[in-house]
Chains A and B, each alone.
Chain A
Amino acid sequence: MKKSFNQFTGSAKYIASEELRNAVNVAIALGKPLLIKGEPGTGKTMLAESIAESLNKELIVWNIKSTTKAQDGLYVYDTVQRLYDSQFQDHDVSDIKQYIKLGKLGEAFVSQEQVVLLIDEIDKADLEFPNDLLWELDQMSFYIPETKETITAVHRPIVIITSNAEKELPDAFLRRCIFHYIEFPDVKRMKEIIKVHFDNLDRKLLEQCLETFYWIRNFDNLQKKPSTSELLDWLQALVLGGIHPRKIGEEIPFLGVLLKKNQDLDALLWNVKNPRAAKRSSFYR
């Protein structure tokens, strides 16, 4: 296999599966945005950091909120400031340029070096949000009518988009993306991940923890299944607490670190006490 210049191979702090590495490299080579989906806590956001680190590029993060509009990523025209300035007449308000503030996407375009742009949790925004970005992501340029300027990407940024699948994304948008779904890591990969974060963990402790962790995850009625980050926190707590490995399976210390919801805690404890009754489903509640 020829090693091309922009080849993502994972980084010291981040274990990327072969499929994921392939997807990243395809996206980079074809210059298309990479859409990453997966359960919370599978390292979607970390991926962009890892790519930036391993390719030695700057990372620009655009965090999407429910109120974010596509325009915010391009540029914001601060009319209120301009109006205020015109009132007090201590600025030259005819120069509109000083009131145009580039958004994250704009920043990525004007950067003199290729950057990694992370559009984080795109599904939080309005349903139409992805469609509003189609042209800009395709052409890598946008027009600012206020200054009659066209901003064109100096270098096509590597665009990583993450989604928690809260909303479905429009087809037209999906067609332009490379897609990858990060599976929840299995025991083997989980061990690799843990190895990255903990130097020398007691082997017995690790085995016990993983067994208990996957046992908890396999309960159907949990509202929020514990994820990798919770497992790491839990391990940290167990190590600091100096808990003996044998105790973990028996009493599950610091369970609150793994399960954040009261109902889940109750459900788990109840399940443990009444293994048979748990199988019956209740009607409407």
Chain B
Amino acid sequence: MFTEFFFELRAQGVPVSMNEWYTLLEALERGMAYSSLIGFYYLCRAVLIKSEAYYDKFDLAFARFFEGVETPEDLPEQIWEWLERELPNDHTVRMLGDLKQYDLDTLKQMLAERLAEQTEEHHGGNYWVGTGGTSPFGHSGYHPGGIRLGGESQNRSAVKVAAERRFYEFRDDETLDTRQFQMALRKLRQFTTRLEGAKTELDLDETIEATGKNAGRLELVWTRPRQNAIKVLLLMDSGGSMLSYSQLCNQLFMAVNRSTHFKDLQIFYFHNCIYDWLYLDPSCRQSESIKTTYVLNSLDSDYRVILVGDASMAPSELVRVGGIIDWGLYNEEPGLTWLQRLRRHFEYAVWLNPIPARYWKWAEGAYTIKQIREVFPMHELTVQGLDQAVKALMARKQ
């Protein structure tokens, strides 16, 4: 019946699998939705959704799918009291076929009339508002197309709850905060035992070897626990066109800076493109600079390189000798050559672009973006993009 809902969820990009769907059906069979839409809503969310990042998409899909199914909220207090008293166990459902189906508007109208007529409590029966029975109004009863009034202590309709979209800020295709960047960066690691540190783990193979050599007298050999061996080189564009992305880049910068699990972290800045000099701070002053060749020579090729920039510049800045944007500076080799040199030296490198990927072909710098993408794998600067970038950094050059 509501298998369509499964497809609606998938269409919204919520990763629901058959596995979870079966679990949901099993739970429904056991009556875990407590025969109410809000109970169904919570049940679906608990079983089908596995990250708060998808709560919002789930809400959207739910609101869209179950639109029009709602429970009225402004009922007179007294009616609530009647409804709170449960019907003693007589849930035999009879003559279901005879019950009339009403559309929502008719139901609402009938309810209003019925409430005007009704003067006392009713439980069971098929006409008055109350619990049990087969009247279309009330709870714990059965009517195939009725309005549930209350039941449990809830009065919010599931569709309304869903429509509130309280989890909007958890969506992960939005650009996100430092913490989520950090999470993505945490995946950037590779364990090794060949680093410095205290030897605290028993090395079984070596112990056997040593004990054997010691004529059977026990000799324990200890080894170092595993540590992350990943070293990171972060190169950030701090040129004028990056100003509009400063907030985003700032977050990435803080995330990288706070990630304590790297063995080493080097950060340099550049202005639009990389030439002979890299800068030590974002102001890109010549007095605070270091030769790019020095960086290339002093850093091993196993540094993971993350370049951050919009890759948008005048084509001349990228491909022409002397194309450097800074007045008074001259470059013997075009920026592209420097980028290629960087790419050749470091085995793992990615470019993160704060411009959303869907604009890369149409953005102002489309030409240079295309050129640079041929040198570095480029990902957009979102959590998903960073995720992919980190994966690329863990694998060899594509």
Q: Which residues of A contact B (CB under 8 A)?
A: 1-2, 18-19, 22-23, 25-27, 29-30, 32, 35, 37, 67, 79-80, 83-84, 86-87, 127, 165-168, 171, 174-181, 183, 281-285
CB-CB contacts below 8 Å: B1-59 with A: 15, 17, 19-20, 23, 26-27, 30-32, 34, 39, 42-43, 45-47, 49-52, 55
Residue of B nearest to A180 (CB): B46
Beyond contacts A30-B30, A87-B217, A87-B218: 5 other A-B pairs, Cβ-Cβ < 8 A, are: A22-B43, A168-B51, A283-B238, A283-B282, A284-B250
Q: Determine if B27 and A30 form an interchain contact, defined as CB atoms under 8 angstroms apart.
A: yes
Chain A residues with Cβ under 8 A from B49's Cβ? 179
Q: Determine if A178 and B225 form an interchain contact, defined as CB atoms under 8 angstroms apart.
A: no
Q: Determine if A127 and B187 form an interchain contact, defined as CB atoms under 8 angstroms apart.
A: yes
A175 to chain B, nearest CB (A): 5
**Secondary structure dominating the interface of A:** mixed
Chain B residues with Cβ under 8 A from A167's Cβ? 183, 186-187
Q: Determine if B250 and A175 form an interchain contact, defined as CB atoms under 8 angstroms apart.
A: no
B237 to chain A, nearest CB (A): 11
Q: Determine if A25 and B32 form an interchain contact, defined as CB atoms under 8 angstroms apart.
A: yes
Chain A residues with Cβ under 8 A from B42's Cβ? 18-19, 22-23
Cα separation A174 to B15 with both chains bound (whole Å)? 11
Hey, what's the 0/1 contact readout for B330-368 against A, CB within 8 Å counting as 1?
Answer: 000000000000000000000000000000000000000
A181-B43 in contact given A30-B26, A167-B186, A283-B282 (Cβ < 8 Å): no
Hey, what's the 0/1 contact readout for B203-244 against A, CB within 8 Å counting as 1?
Answer: 010010001000001101000010000000000101000010
Chain A residues with Cβ under 8 A from B225's Cβ? 67
Chain A residues with Cβ under 8 A from B153's Cβ? 18
Q: Determine if B183 and A1 form an interchain contact, defined as CB atoms under 8 angstroms apart.
A: no
Q: Which of A18, A22, A179 contacts B51 (CB 8 A)?
A: A179
B45 to chain A, nearest CB (A): 8
A38 to chain B, nearest CB (A): 8
Q: Determine if B238 and A284 form an interchain contact, defined as CB atoms under 8 angstroms apart.
A: yes
Q: Which 4 A-B pairs have the closest CB atoms?
A: A174-B50, A181-B52, A23-B46, A22-B42
Cα separation A176 to B50 with both chains bound (whole Å)? 10
Q: Determine if A283 and B250 form an interchain contact, defined as CB atoms under 8 angstroms apart.
A: yes
A284-B166 in contact given A87-B218, A167-B183, A171-B15 (Cβ < 8 Å): no
Cα separation A180 to B50 with both chains bound (whole Å)? 8
Q: By CB atoms of chain A within 10 A, which of B43, B55, B152, B202 has the most?
A: B43
Residue of A nearest to B253 (CB): A284
Q: Which of A18, A79, A165, A285 contacts B154 (CB 8 A)?
A: A18
Q: Which residues of B contact A (CB under 8 A)?
A: 15, 17, 19-20, 23, 26-27, 30-32, 34, 39, 42-43, 45-47, 49-52, 55, 152-154, 166-167, 170, 183, 186-187, 202, 204, 207, 211, 217-218, 220, 225, 236, 238, 243, 246-247, 249-250, 253, 282
Chain B residues with Cβ under 8 A from A26's Cβ? 27, 32, 43, 46-47
Q: Determine if B19 and A175 form an interchain contact, defined as CB atoms under 8 angstroms apart.
A: yes
Chain A residues with Cβ under 8 A from B202's Cβ? 79-80
Cα separation A79 to B208 with both chains bound (whole Å)? 12
Chain B residues with Cβ under 8 A from A183's Cβ? 166
Chain A residues with Cβ under 8 A from B17's Cβ? 175
Q: Which of B31, B46, B170, B211 contacts A22 (CB 8 A)?
A: B46
Residue of B nearest to A80 (CB): B202
Chain B residues with Cβ under 8 A from A285's Cβ? 250, 253, 282
A284-B249 in contact given A22-B39, A87-B218, A174-B50 (Cβ < 8 Å): yes
Residue of A nearest to B47 (CB): A178
Chain B residues with Cβ under 8 A from A175's Cβ? 17, 19-20, 50
Q: Determine if B253 and A79 form an interchain contact, defined as CB atoms under 8 angstroms apart.
A: no
Chain A residues with Cβ under 8 A from B217's Cβ? 87
Chain B residues with Cβ under 8 A from A282's Cβ? 250
B379 to chain A, nearest CB (A): 17
Residue of B nearest to A2 (CB): B31
Q: Determine if A166 and B186 form an interchain contact, defined as CB atoms under 8 angstroms apart.
A: yes
Chain B residues with Cβ under 8 A from A87's Cβ? 217-218
A121 to chain B, nearest CB (A): 14
A284 to chain B, nearest CB (A): 5
Cα separation A83 to B202 with both chains bound (whole Å)? 12
Q: Determine if B247 and A281 form an interchain contact, defined as CB atoms under 8 angstroms apart.
A: yes
Residue of A nearest to B36 (CB): A1
Q: Determine if B236 and A1 form an interchain contact, defined as CB atoms under 8 angstroms apart.
A: no
Residue of A nearest to B153 (CB): A18
Q: Determine if B250 and A30 form an interchain contact, defined as CB atoms under 8 angstroms apart.
A: no
A83-B250 in contact given A22-B43, A23-B46, A183-B166 (Cβ < 8 Å): no
Residue of A nearest to B55 (CB): A181
Chain A residues with Cβ under 8 A from B34's Cβ? 1
Chain A residues with Cβ under 8 A from B31's Cβ? 2
A277 to chain B, nearest CB (A): 16
Cα separation A79 to B52 with both chains bound (whole Å)? 43
Q: Determine if B183 and A168 form an interchain contact, defined as CB atoms under 8 angstroms apart.
A: yes
Residue of B nearest to A127 (CB): B187
Cα separation A168 to B220 with both chains bound (whole Å)? 38
Residue of A nearest to B219 (CB): A83
Q: Determine if B50 and A83 form an interchain contact, defined as CB atoms under 8 angstroms apart.
A: no
Residue of B nearest to A66 (CB): B261
25 contacts between A and B (CB under 8 A): A2-B31, A19-B45, A23-B42, A23-B46, A25-B32, A29-B32, A30-B30, A30-B32, A79-B204, A83-B211, A86-B218, A87-B218, A127-B187, A165-B52, A166-B186, A168-B51, A175-B17, A180-B46, A281-B246, A283-B238, A283-B282, A284-B236, A284-B249, A284-B250, A285-B282
A166-B183 in contact given A83-B218, A181-B55 (Cβ < 8 Å): yes
Cα separation A84 to B211 with both chains bound (whole Å)? 12
Chain B residues with Cβ under 8 A from A171's Cβ? 15, 50
Cα separation A263 to B200 with both chains bound (whole Å)? 36
Q: Determine if A281 and B52 form an interchain contact, defined as CB atoms under 8 angstroms apart.
A: no
A174-B250 in contact given A26-B46, A167-B186 (Cβ < 8 Å): no
